[in-house]
Amino acid sequence: MFPLHLNLNLNRNRGARLRGLALFSGALALALYCWGLLQVFGAVLEAEDGGADSAPVRPCRTHAKGAEALDYRIDYVPLRFVCETRGGGSYVADRVPGYVNPGAFGFALAAMLLAIGAGYEAELRARRAATPTDGEPRITG
C-alpha cells in the first residue's frame, strides 16, 4: 500500500492536477481543430486550382449534386467545407473527418470544466487556510 504521507501529498496537488488536465484537454481540442483546418485548406487549394478541369469545383464532385456546384464557402464553427449550388442551395462536402468537430468540442468542454474545477479547488483551499481549527476566522490584509 501507499504510505500515508504520499496519499496526503496527492490530495494537496489536486488543483495542480486539474489545471494540468485542463491544459492537456485544451491542447487536444486545438490540435483536432487544426487538423480539420488543414483538411479544409487542402480542399480550398484544390478548389482554387484553375484550368480546364476547374468547373464544377473539385472538392464538391464527390456528392450527387456535384455538377450543380458553383462556388464554396468555409464555415469555421462547426468546421466544414460547404458547396453552394444553383438556386441558392448548399451541401457539406465530406472534407473534414467526422471526428474533428465533436472531438474538438468535447475536449474544449472538458478543458473548460476542468479549469472551473481547478478554480473551485483553489477557492476551497483559500477558505480552509483562512479558517483556523478553532472555528474563528482570521483577519487578513
Please compute the mean of the pLDDT values over residues 123-132 and round it to a whole number: 83
Residue ranges of the domains in the chain? Answer: 21-119
b/e 24-45 (16+ beta carbons within 10 angstroms → b):
ebbebbeebbebbeebbeebbe
At 30 the pLDDT is: 98
Identify whether the C-beta of residue 58 lies closer than 8 Å to the C-beta of residue 83: no
Please compute the mean of the pLDDT values over residues 51-70 and round it to a whole number: 70
More confident residue, 76 or 50: 76
More confident residue, 16 or 57: 16
Please compute the mean of the pLDDT values over residues 2-12 and round it to a whole number: 53
At 76 the pLDDT is: 95
Candidate from 15-19, 62-66, 83-87, 103-107 with smallest mean pLDDT = 62-66
At 46 the pLDDT is: 87
3-state secondary structure the chain: CCCHHHHHHHHHCHHHHHHHHHHHHHHHHHHHHHHHHHHHHHHHHHHHCCCCCCCCCHHHCCCCCHHHEEEEEEEECCEEEEEEEHHHCEEEECCCCCCHHHHHHHHHHHHHHHHHHHHHHHHHHHHHHHCCCCCCCCCCC
Averaged confidence pLDDT in the chain? 83
Is residue 140 scored above 80 in pLDDT?
Answer: no
At 25 the pLDDT is: 97
Is residue 5 scored above 60 in pLDDT?
Answer: no
**What Cα–Cα distance (Å) separates residue 58 from each residue in 76, 85, 138?**
20, 13, 70
Q: How confident is the model at residue 87 (pLDDT cuts 50, 70, 90)?
A: confident
